[in-house]
Amino acid sequence: MLHEFADLMDMHGDIFRRNAYRRAARSIEALDQSIEEIIREGRLRQIPGIGEGIASILMEIVESGTSKELERLRRTFPPGVAEMMRIPDVGPRSAVKFYHELGITNLEELKDAAEDGRIRKLSGFGERSEANILRGIRLIEQQGSRMLLSDALSKGSAIVEHIRSYGFPLVSVAGSMRRMMETIGDVDILVGTSHSVDAMEAFIAFPNAVDIIVRGESKTSVRLSDGTQADMRVVPEISHGAALQYFTGSKEHNVKLRRIAINKGLRLNEYGLFDSAGVNLVAGLKEDEIYRLLDLQPIPPELREDRGEIEAAARNQLPRLVTQRDIRGDLHVHTILSDGHDTMREMAMAAMKRGYDYVGLTDHSASLRIANGLDVDELLTSLEQARQLSNELNFPIMRGAEVDILEDGTLDYPDEVLDQLDYVIASVHSRFKMSIDQMTERIIYAIKSGKMQILGHPTGRLLGRREAYAIDLDAVMEEAARHGVAMEVNGFPERLDLNDMGCRRAKEKGIMVVLNTDAHSEEGLDNMHLAIGTARRGWLEPENILNCLPYPDIKDALAR
């Protein structure tokens, strides 16, 4: 809600208050204690960035579920005006300008205006920005109103926590979120209880639920303040496992599973696995039990896409999917030296705190000026500092760099500098619009240099913002296999690049994969679960993943 405040203040040009609310929102996100508890203990004002005004708004929200001031601000613009800000090139100031000067109140009208050439006539806009706006709208249309997995997961866990706090222990997320799909249509929540009415009450009381779409005995849907839909289903405890199976999907997976049940003379639905008469419940409480009774290994949610998982489970040949416990370190980490927010020391200590055996620091190379890339001297100085820090903390810090692959495929540091690094992540950050042949050749040229160990975010896509560049990924992977170059799964929420299918192709080709966060702050390290989810969807096992190696094996492997 504080972020929403900040957006609205931005639209009013109130930069000072916007910054204050944004800062307060970030401090609260970083807490490991709930804000309710902190208020109860009277420690609200001790949180950095929370002054008197914001403190009283927070208390009002916690008490009443909403803020009068926020509701007033929401009414100052039609809701579609904020939605225009989903277009990458449209900030609050532009959105408000479209509204005031052209009377545009939503995306639809903005599209019409851009197509009619009315945007280019506004001061500060031209044909180019008009074309960019149209391209942005098309991307949004393609993506529909789907949200990033990371956003959905935080909304989902907030709802789960809220409902649990009302005394319902059996609450889970289901649907595409549980399968860790890269984008999510709506949030699905499942509760196992015989007190359906009370559970629905708890759901509707979720502070961020602003609208009830449908309200029934077994299903209720609400709209959250940012437009997201959340569905909640309630089943009796005894059916919780069956309902979890059913509402996790995918639909294709479920269709096949139901057919298997029928062939065994059983019946499967969201209330359980029944005998053929549909009378006697054979299983329902535990999801795993349902798979077992169908003579299948329990299938992890991330695999449930009808991509061969049911056949593999029948043969007892499901992969042993990677988990967080298998990950020994993060190899793509930025610091304050380039465009990160925290120091080498802070990032190293944050990695230690997360139980890793090592960390790899990889700031940007010189040509990436917008990210304050390091020149050779700065890089060499930082290597020495990292070595000392590693000794001091008694924690292995591997010294890498995220080196640009320049337009002609050369790497952005001289060979003798690259040789001093423990490893190199090479990435494309410029000139995305080459032809498929040029881009493929550019990256293959870099791989052939023999100076890079990892290809960073291999396709360059940004979910909802930028398409992958044109690239022949098979050709790139074949060259990578020949040169022992690993492919990154970048866990930055908008990237998830390689994607699930890319992981599976890498595995088939015998290429190692690295799961990284591309963290630009301490909290950024917590995005590892997104990379892991993507890898699991791609059937990856620890043996396919470079950073499942302990230290010093990882160092040897990178050196080889």
Binding residues for Zn ion (CB under 5 A): 427
CB of 369 to Zn ion, least distance (A): 14
Nearer to ligand DGT, 176 or 427 (CB): 176
Residue 351 has which token pair?
A: 């990695």
523 binds ligand DGT (CB under 6 A): no
Per partner kind, with CB cut-offs from 5 to 8 A, the member of ligand DGT, Zn ion, Ca ion, none near residue 427 is Zn ion
Per partner kind, with CB cut-offs from 5 to 8 A, the member of Zn ion, ligand DGT, Ca ion, none near residue 198 is none
Nearer to ligand DGT, 247 or 356 (CB): 247
d(CA 426, CA 480): 12
CB of 214 to Ca ion, least distance (A): 11
d(CA 283, CA 264): 14
Nearer to Zn ion, 221 or 427 (CB): 427
Instruction: State the CB neighbour count (10 A cutoff) for residue 229.
Output: 15
Of the candidate residues 49, 185, 227, 236, the single one contacting ligand DGT (CB under 6 A) = 185
Size of the site for ligand DGT (CB under 6 A): 14
8 Å CB contact between 254 and 234: no
Per partner kind, with CB cut-offs from 5 to 8 A, the member of Ca ion, ligand DGT, Zn ion, none near residue 254 is ligand DGT
Instruction: State the CB neighbour count (10 A cutoff) for residue 68.
Output: 10
186 binds ligand DGT (CB under 6 A): yes
Q: Residues, the chain, total?
A: 560
Mark 410-445 as b/e (b = at least 16 C-beta within 10 Å).
bbbbeeebbeebbbbbbbbbeeeebeeebbbbbbbb
CB of 255 to Ca ion, least distance (A): 17
8 Å CB contact between 453 and 433: no
By Cβ distance, which residue is nearest to Ca ion?
A: 175
Helix axes 473-483, 436-448, angle to 10 degrees: 10
CB of 440 to Zn ion, least distance (A): 19
Per partner kind, with CB cut-offs from 5 to 8 A, the member of Ca ion, ligand DGT, Zn ion, none near residue 88 is none
Per partner kind, with CB cut-offs from 5 to 8 A, the member of ligand DGT, Ca ion, Zn ion, none near residue 65 is none
CB of 247 to ligand DGT, least distance (A): 4
Phi, psi of 462 (to 5 degrees): -125, 115
Binding residues for Ca ion, per CB under 5 A? 175-176, 186, 188, 231
Amino acid in position 500? D
Nearer to ligand DGT, 70 or 184 (CB): 184
8 Å CB contact between 457 and 518: yes
227 binds ligand DGT (CB under 6 A): no
Of the candidate residues 81, 133, 184, 313, the single one contacting ligand DGT (CB under 6 A) = 184
Helix axes 2-11, 15-29, angle to 10 degrees: 160
d(CA 214, CA 196): 15
Site string for ligand DGT, 229-268 (x = CB under 6 A): -----------------xx-xxx--xx-------------
d(CA 65, CA 419): 57
DSSP β-bridge partners for residue 395: none
CB of 482 to ligand DGT, least distance (A): 38
CB of 143 to ligand DGT, least distance (A): 11
CB of 429 to Zn ion, least distance (A): 6
For the chain, the distance separating the N- and C-terminal CA atoms, rounded to the nearest angstrom, is 50
Q: Contact positions toward ligand DGT, by CB under 6 A?
A: 175-176, 181, 184-186, 188, 246-247, 249-251, 254-255
